[in-house]
Amino acid sequence: MALIELAGLEKSFHNRKTGDTQVLRGIDLAIEEGQTVCVVGESGCGKTTLGKILAGLQGYTGGTYTYRGQEVATLKGKLWKQYRTDVQMIHQNPYESLNPTQMVFDIISAPIKHHRKIRDFAVLYQEVVRLLEMVGLTPVDDFIDKYPVNLSGGQRQRVSIARILCMNPKFIVVDEATSMIDTSLRISLLATLKRIQEELKVAYLYITHDLALGRYFAWGQRLAVMYLGEVIELGPTGDVVEDPHHPYTKAILSAGSIATDNSYDLKGVDIPSFQHIPSGCSLSPRCPEMIPGVCNVVKPPLHTTSPGRCVACHLYAAEGPRTTEGPRSTENLGTTEGQRSTENPRTGQGRNA
């Protein structure tokens, strides 16, 4: 039984004027104990919303979400309390997530008192000092009695991290949690999170837009790419980074690469919007490999291309991309020419798997 399992997860926000807007449109994902899934995707595509739902901070409006086999929406009493302790989130914006009226000591010690039932002050103090040192807030004396307003952005992020670590959770949503921290400290914090994962078998949903960091943090694990409320590519981190399949994944990797010679760009005029989701493939108005008459009409299902690896794009259909009536021009075949042929080696592999 997976620790976390999502099937067709949906989320709509209601607005009196504009009605319902669906921002998560059917997400399937399973996370085992001690695993990491790194999530990347366009700004506003639904990553934080997904994270908040997984951390139990927001309800879902469709599909199923089970934690250790139990539907989260139906958890009650002791089970709900246990779930809320096991599952935590480090928020994207530390200016919004820390209680401004509490000192750093209280922010970190309150959950220790509550969850680990430590009452002895000396022990508690020791534990807070240990956690602050772990996230590099030294000299500890300088921080222990400060309020969040007395901290810099990165220092707040580190208090958020320390606060979560003291609760010994089973699953942590890490939402851009090191974005305000310098490169050097970032690496050591991520190393700390990874060490904790090994020691305590914590699972992570790691949301980032820094692919190089994501690649490091989720190495040997999985990477999910989201676009307009859907997972459009999922696979082993190294494979996705080295050989991206989905045109959107190719475009973000190209934007993040040092080489500028063969860049892969989306057509950029359209502003994607949940109010006007394109018909067929959501990326079709911006996709450089769009097949007219197919991509803008039929929504691509998730095709498995190799074990553990799937992509929602017609180019990877087992029977090859569906063609239109008229002859298709070959000039925009670009880099994926080989993948267009019916003998797609990757999809072939997928069928056998």
Partner 1 sequence: MNTNTPHPTNTVPSASTVPSASSVASENAKGAAMDPRPVLLDINKLSIEYRTKRGKLKAVHEASLRIRKGESVAIIGESGCGKTTLATSIVHMLPRNATISGGSIGFFPEGKAEIRLEALPEKEMRAVRWNDIVMMFQASQSSFNPVAKIRTQFLDTFQAHNPEISTDDALNRSRELLELVFLNADAVLNSFPHELSGGMKQRTLIALSLLLDPQLVILDEPTTALDLITQKKILNLLNSLRDSCGFSMMFITHDLGIVTQLADRVVTMYAGVVVENAPTADFFSTPLHPYSQGLLRAIPKLNATFEQLYSIPGSTPDLVDKMDGCLFAPRCAHCHARCLTEIPALRQTDNDRWVACHLYEEVTHGAY
Ligand X SMILES: Nc1ncnc2c1ncn2[C@@H]1O[C@H](COP(=O)(O)OP(=O)(O)OP(=O)(O)O)[C@@H](O)[C@H]1O
Smaller CB distance to ligand X: residue 167 or 180? 180
CB of 49 to Mg ion, least distance (A): 8
Smaller CB distance to ligand SF4: residue 72 or 240? 240
Beta strand ranges found along the chain (DSSP E): 4-15, 19-31, 36-41, 62-67, 70-71, 87-90, 171-175, 203-207, 222-227, 230-236, 303-306, 309-311
Smaller CB distance to Mg ion: residue 178 or 305? 178
* Per-state percent for the chain, helix, strand, coil, to nearest 5: 35, 20, 40
Taking the C-alpha atoms of residue 137 and residue 292, their distance in angstroms, rounded to an integer, is 55
Q: Are strands 222-227 and 230-236 parallel, antiparallel or unpaired?
A: antiparallel
What are the residues binding ligand SF4 (CB under 6 A)? Answer: 246-247, 281, 283-284, 287, 289-291, 295, 300, 313-315
Strand partners, 12: 22
Instruction: Single out the residue of 45, 161, 234, 287 in contact with ligand X (rule: CB under 6 A).
Output: 45
Instruction: Single out the residue of 99, 126, 273, 332 in contact with partner 1 (rule: CB under 8 A).
Output: 273
Piece of 40-48, 80-88, 213-221, 291-299 that binds ligand X (CB under 6 A): 40-48
Q: Does 152 contact ligand X by CB under 6 A?
A: yes
Q: Does 136 contact partner 1 by CB under 8 A?
A: yes
Query: ∠ CA(135), CA(136), CA(140), 5° rounding?
Result: 105
Smaller CB distance to ligand X: residue 173 or 203? 173
Decide if 347 contacts 316 (C-beta within 8 A).
yes
Q: Which one of ligand SF4, partner 1, Mg ion, none interacts with residue 148, CB within 5 to 8 A by kind?
A: none
Q: Which one of ligand SF4, ligand X, partner 1, none interacts with residue 291, CB within 5 to 8 A by kind?
A: ligand SF4
Q: How many angstroms separate the Cα of 259 from the Cα of each of 49, 262, 346? A: 33, 7, 26
Locus of tokens 């039932």: 117
Locus of tokens 């820390």: 98
CB of 308 to partner 1, least distance (A): 21
Taking the C-alpha atoms of residue 9 and residue 73, their distance in angstroms, rounded to an integer, is 12
Taking the C-alpha atoms of residue 71 and residue 269, their distance in angstroms, rounded to an integer, is 41
Taking the C-alpha atoms of residue 115 and residue 136, their distance in angstroms, rounded to an integer, is 24
Q: Does 90 contact ligand X by CB under 6 A?
A: no
Q: Does 284 contact Mg ion by CB under 5 A?
A: no
Q: Does 262 contact partner 1 by CB under 8 A?
A: no
Q: Does 98 contact ligand X by CB under 6 A?
A: no
Piece of 153-161, 164-172, 230-238, 336-344 that binds ligand X (CB under 6 A): 153-161
44-63 footprint of Mg ion as x/- string (CB under 5 A): ----x---------------
Decide if 312 contacts 233 (C-beta within 8 A).
yes
Give the footprint of partner 1 on this chain (CB under 8 A).
13, 15, 17-18, 40-44, 47-48, 92-96, 136, 138-139, 141-142, 145-146, 149-155, 157-158, 176, 179-188, 191, 209-213, 215-216, 219, 241, 251-253, 255-258, 266, 268, 271, 273, 275
